[in-house]
Amino acid sequence: MKLSVFYEHITEAVSQTGKSMEEILAEVAKAGIRGVEIEDRRLMNEEECIMRQLRKKGMEVNCIYGFFDFGNHPEIDKGMTLLDMAGRVGAKKVLVIPGFIREGEDRELALENMKNVLAVLCREAENRGIQVGMEDFDDSIAPFATTKQLLWFMENVPGLTCTFDTGNFLYSEEDALDAFEALRPHIASVHCKDRSLEYKEGEEAKITIQGRRLYSSAVGSGCIPMKEIVSELLQKGYESSFAIEHFGSMNQLEDMKASAKWLLHLELSIKSERNRDI
């Protein structure tokens, strides 16, 4: 199982624990996590330092993600910069958040612009051996927050893949298993995000479209059917990455370790069952 984690969780763990970056990275690597998901802006500003720290612990950049405004500014240059960066650090995946549509903006034009830029980006990425993904983003101004919206991009942009975020469909009050079935043919990467419905002091809740409050959770400890989704993927031969995600956690280090432990234990259980059946 290929495990990665959001680099922001690592930097937050440094602040929360008072430990050094080297100490936190050592604990993360010991937990079985070998990759990071990192935003393009942070990597651009700290590339040499970050890559040196990661390589020292035998880790790598799994995916670089970036926020764009292709709906209003359909230029490809910034997208190409993302691919250039991925090439430099050896990342084989990029995650593109192509833009948001706010009240009063031309929705049809924005969608068309996003689609056209993504199509060019996917063609260029294919030539470089890089995979372009989009996720179900948990915000009402994202025209790819729901299953139907994300499917529209998958079906209209050749080469585009789905980064399936297990916890973001709940923001739109959709069932994660239903979304999984609909998007399964397009899934090439997974964000393992669990959610808790229980109040957590000091943590800012994500409010769903129906007003429910969602809090962070270590993978396997919340209300998302993580076991069903991850098990199905593994049983069907999924070999790509599982990215641990729990933004907002007040205890990032322990949650990262608990998430990795749960995922690796699930993988081991599935392998054991397989061996018994042979």
**Predicted pLDDT of residue 277:** 67
**Length of the chain in residues, anyone?**
278
Backbone dihedral angles phi then psi of residue 52, each to the nearest 5 degrees: -65, -45
The domains of the chain, with CATH numbers, are: 2-277 (3.20.20.150)
pLDDT tens for each residue of 185-208: 999 999 999 999 999 999 999 999
Per the DSSP assignment, residues forming a β-bridge with 165 are: 191
The Cα 153–Cα 133 span in angstroms is 10
**Residue 159 φ/ψ region, left for φ over 0, alpha for ψ in the -120 to 50 degree band, beta for the rest:** left
The Cα 197–Cα 98 span in angstroms is 29
pLDDT tens for each residue of 126-169: 999 999 999 999 999 999 999 999 999 999 999 999 999 999 99
**Predicted pLDDT of residue 278:** 61
How far apart, in Å, are the Cα atoms of 95 and each of 79, 181, 182? 10, 21, 20
What pLDDT band is residue 179 in, cutting at 50, 70 and 90?
Answer: very high
The Cα 168–Cα 194 span in angstroms is 9
Per the DSSP assignment, residues forming a β-bridge with 2 are: 241
What pLDDT band is residue 54 in, cutting at 50, 70 and 90?
Answer: very high
